[in-house]
């Protein structure tokens, strides 16, 4: 009976108590994230540091209790522990317990993913399910596209190394050093920190940029068409 009551509060957000519990946890997540952000400021006063430490301690206590309760009420505890939410939950509290041995404070930023629990409330649940269905439609295409992209990264790295190695031996000293240029050029980011200066390198870069436009747009088109298909399927089921 105790597990059933706790489950109705912690997992069932259609009840009043369940919604209150969810909202309190979400508010605490936001407070802890703001606290984490303020903690990175360089000139915090002693009082501010003490306040942030207290907020972190309170957050850890509540998150730890919540994590243990979720394991307790889960029908299959191991399934929850190794699920997406279970991993995010443990990553949000693990840095505190390992702080004496390892500096894992950066992992506290993973608490932002706990906000996804809020999406299980009301209208966002259908949208998340739609994305899940859409990715099952295009899973094979995305894997194939990713493999082709890796091949293109290797080929473009080899090409720019061939054109620019003699002109810029410090920048394009090896194929591995050319990988950075290849990635930022194929993704059309182009930071400008590494760029070709030879005529052959510039012409080669022109064609790489054209290919890069396809690398950016093809996944977007696949996801858009899959979402449309998922929405159509959902409407037919309804």
Give pLDDT tens digits for 81-124: 988 778 888 887 887 777 656 666 666 666 676 666 655 554 55
This model's pTM is above 0.75: no
Q: With contact defined as beta carbons under 8 Å apart, do 183 and 153 qualify?
A: yes
Predicted local confidence at residue 123, as pLDDT: 52
Six token digits for residue 7:
């489950």
- For residue 17, pLDDT beyond 50: yes
In angstroms, the CA 20 to CA 26 distance is 10
Q: What is the mean pLDDT of the chain?
A: 83
Predicted confidence at residue 154, as pLDDT, reads 92
Output phi, psi for 45, to 5 deg: -75, 170
DSSP assignment letter at 181: H
Asked if the model's pLDDT at residue 7 lies above 50, the reply is yes
User: What letter does residue 143 receive in the DSSP assignment?
Assistant: H
C-alpha torsion sign, points 75, 133, 150, 204: negative
Residue 56: CB atoms within 10 Å: 19
The predicted structure's pLDDT at residue 19: 84
3-state helix, strand, coil in the chain (%, to 5): 80, 0, 20
């Amino acid at each position: 009976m105790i597990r059933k009551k706790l489950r109705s509060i912690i997992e069932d957000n259609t009840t009043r108590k369940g919604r209150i519990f969810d909202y309190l946890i979400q508010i605490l997540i936001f407070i802890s994230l703001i606290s984490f952000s303020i903690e990175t400021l360089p000139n915090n006063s002693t009082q501010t540091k003490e306040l942030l430490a207290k907020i972190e301690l309170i957050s850890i206590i509540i998150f730890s209790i919540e994590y243990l309760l979720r394991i307790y009420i889960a029908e299959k505890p191991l399934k929850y522990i190794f699920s997406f939410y279970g991993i995010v939950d443990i990553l949000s509290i693990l840095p505190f317990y390992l702080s004496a041995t390892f500096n894992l404070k950066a992992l506290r930023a993973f608490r932002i993913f706990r906000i996804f629990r809020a999406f299980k409330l009301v209208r966002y649940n259908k949208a998340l399910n739609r994305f899940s269905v859409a990715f099952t439609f295009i899973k094979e295409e995305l894997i194939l596209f990713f493999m082709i992209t890796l091949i293109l990264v290797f080929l473009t790295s080899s090409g720019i190394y061939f054109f620019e190695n003699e002109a810029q031996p410090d920048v394009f000293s090896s194929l591995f050093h050319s990988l950075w240029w290849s990635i930022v050029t194929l993704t059309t980011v182009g930071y400008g920190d590494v760029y070709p200066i030879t005529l052959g390198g510039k012409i080669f870069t022109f064609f790489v940029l054209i290919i890069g436009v396809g690398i950016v747009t093809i996944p977007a088109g696949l996801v858009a068409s899959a979402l449309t298909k998922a929405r159509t399927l959902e409407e037919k089921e309804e």
